[in-house]
Structure 1
Amino acid sequence: MTTDTVAGTSPRSRARRNVTRTLTLVPALLIVILALAGPLIAPHPLDAPVTIPYAAAGDRAVLGGDQLGRDVLSRLLHGGTALIAGAALVAVLVTLAGVLIGCFAALSPALGRAVERTADVAILLPPVLGIMLIAFAWPGGGRWAVIAAAIILGIPYAVRIVAAAAAPLASAGYVEAALARGETLHHIALRELLPNLRATVAALFGLRFVEAVYVISMAAFLQIGAQPPAADWALMIRENSAGILLSPWAVIAPSLAIAALAISVNLASSTLAPGSVRKAVTRS
């Protein structure tokens, strides 16, 4: 038995892990594709009443009607596009800011201390209060205000995670050799540190996406972000909660959609990252 076989790195073991990772990615990809293609396959127009308010599931409306008699299934298929796009934008910008600031903070002790103190103060702000303050101060409010709030509130967490992961690498021999050659901090951060933080960045992106889904959904439920008559999963829950006994799918379907999106993306990001990275990102 070879050493690779003992360590669990035989070709068969690697192939099995690759298959497992691929299968874990499938649910997230299917949900994202279905949400993005939903408006094209919706059976009814977004705002067209097709039945009586809070109608039970039937031929005219497979999942029943909402508070205005609109088709729940059609609104469900329309409601995921904006949520996924907003969460993806938040995750990209937060991860990018966290990587850039975190790498430079790991290489510069003075900057690292300043970033750490600033992040500590920002993290102390309750998320709901922060969202409300930023959203109400944003000109016009709405969905973009919530996205901006999610970005601002998410950056301190991302910076702390990346800085903690990059700190041990900053004292590595190849980084010291780059400093001795006179390389700039910009070069070292992007060429020496970042390639060794791929697992951290992948896990960070996935978890920031899930966090953004929750933040945007919570804001929509509180009617801070998306406003009627927009088709938004969280807004559907709020609008139809009064008629849950008459048309339960008007509340259950969007709730399941949000949960399925968050869980599938979380599982996908966890699969792509080593266990140590998952624990560090989750704790932060």
Structure 2
Amino acid sequence: MSATLATARKRKGSAARVRTIRRLAPGLVLVLLALLGPLLAAHPLDKPVTAPFATPGGGAPLGGDQLGRDVLSRLLHGGTALIGSALLVAAAVTALAALLGCFAVLHPVVGRAVERTADVFILLPPILGIMLIALAWPGGGRWAVIGASVVLGTPYAVRVVAGAAAPLAGAGYVEAALAGGESLTYTATRELLPNLRATVLALFGLRFVEAVYVISMAGFLQIGPQPPAADWALMIRENSSGILLNPWAVLAPSLAIAALAISVNLAATSLAPRSAPKAVTTP
């Protein structure tokens, strides 16, 4: 009986690993293509190879853009900066939210300040906030969009972490750590955070997807990367006037953005622990 149970568990574990690999594979492939894309491009970014908005054919499998540049080559160049920016935003927002959210439930004064600040920032539309910060940022550009995305994305993420950490703040092991004289930093990082792995990982995936959309929208509005940079959102804006002549000049970067967001979200979901978090104590 025990051998049968062990075999069933082994098969269940193998099936779970296969599902996880299947969900991770699309995101990993897209990220790898984005990183290696500049090496795979057949033509330089700014070299016209076809007539403006030429249909696919010849040396341009996806046709030409508004200046006759190869759409596929620009597509292969355009994902690296977007993925790097979104990863930076997601990592920064998740790290700040994890720390501030834990501090908020452990310290009432910090909690009230975080809650009121979050309420103010949540009411501010993301694009309006990005425009205000980006226009005030010296020199503007991609770093302005990244900074604005971190500032505007952190308050909501803090509320999510604080909501997940609140039921754990009254647990015995947390109270024991505080009663034993442990600092808030130690209690937050060694007692609370280990029990919030699923929340933090899911939050990272959601923040990455949100960052992809926000950065892409900012690029579409020409807040951030400027022509002739190869950026997926910028490609959509530049080629929208010729969508009837060569639809791939707009559809290809649009599909790339959507595929990236969906695949990364599926990957983050598959990595998140399925079981309820258990108390983790540190000796």
Instruction: Report TM bin, short chain.
Output: over 0.9
By how many angstroms is 1:180 displaced? 2.0
Unaligned regions of 5+ residues in structure 1, if any? 278-284
By how many angstroms is 1:274 displaced? 5.1
By how many angstroms is 1:211 displaced? 0.4
- Mapping of residues 1-284 of structure 1, within 5 Å: 10-273=9-272
By how many angstroms is 1:276 displaced? 9.3
- Do 2:90 and 2:207's aligned partners in 1 also have CA atoms closer than 8 Å? yes
Aligned partner letter, 2:123: L
For the residues of structure 1 that align with 2:99 and 2:200, how far apart are their CA atoms?
11
Aligned partner letter, 1:264: S
1:138-185, Cα deviation, whole Å (9 max, x unpaired): 111111111111111100011111111111111111111112221111
For the residues of structure 2 that align with 1:232 and 1:276, how far apart are their CA atoms?
40
For the residues of structure 2 that align with 1:161 and 1:120, how far apart are their CA atoms?
13
- Do 2:197 and 2:273's aligned partners in 1 also have CA atoms closer than 8 Å? no
Size of the alignment, in residue pairs? 273
1:240-274, Cα deviation, whole Å (9 max, x unpaired): 11111111110010000000000101111122235
User: What secondary structure is seen at the aligned counterpart in 2 of 1:67?
Assistant: coil
1:108-167, Cα deviation, whole Å (9 max, x unpaired): 122112211110111001111111111111111111111111111100011111111111
Unaligned regions of 5+ residues in structure 2, if any? 277-283
Aligned partner letter, 1:228: P
* Moved segments of 4+, more than 6 Å: none
1:185-234, Cα deviation, whole Å (9 max, x unpaired): 11111111111111111111111010000000000101111110000001
Seen in structure 2, the aligned counterparts of structure 1 residues 192 and 17 have a Cα distance that, compared at 3 Å, is: same
Aligned partner letter, 1:198: R
What's the TM-score once normalised by structure 1's chain length?
Answer: 0.92
Which residue of the partner structure matches residue 282 of structure 1?
Answer: none
For the residues of structure 2 that align with 1:253 and 1:126, how far apart are their CA atoms?
28
By how many angstroms is 1:12 displaced? 2.2
User: What secondary structure is seen at the aligned counterpart in 2 of 1:102?
Assistant: helix
User: What secondary structure is seen at the aligned counterpart in 1 of 2:48?
Assistant: coil
User: What secondary structure is seen at the aligned counterpart in 2 of 1:91?
Assistant: helix
The two structures, once aligned, show a CA RMSD in angstroms of: 1.7
Identity of aligned residues (%): 73
By how many angstroms is 1:275 displaced? 6.7
User: What secondary structure is seen at the aligned counterpart in 1 of 2:116?
Assistant: helix
1:16-55, Cα deviation, whole Å (9 max, x unpaired): 1222112101100000000111001101111111111111
Seen in structure 2, the aligned counterparts of structure 1 residues 276 and 153 have a Cα distance that, compared at 3 Å, is: farther
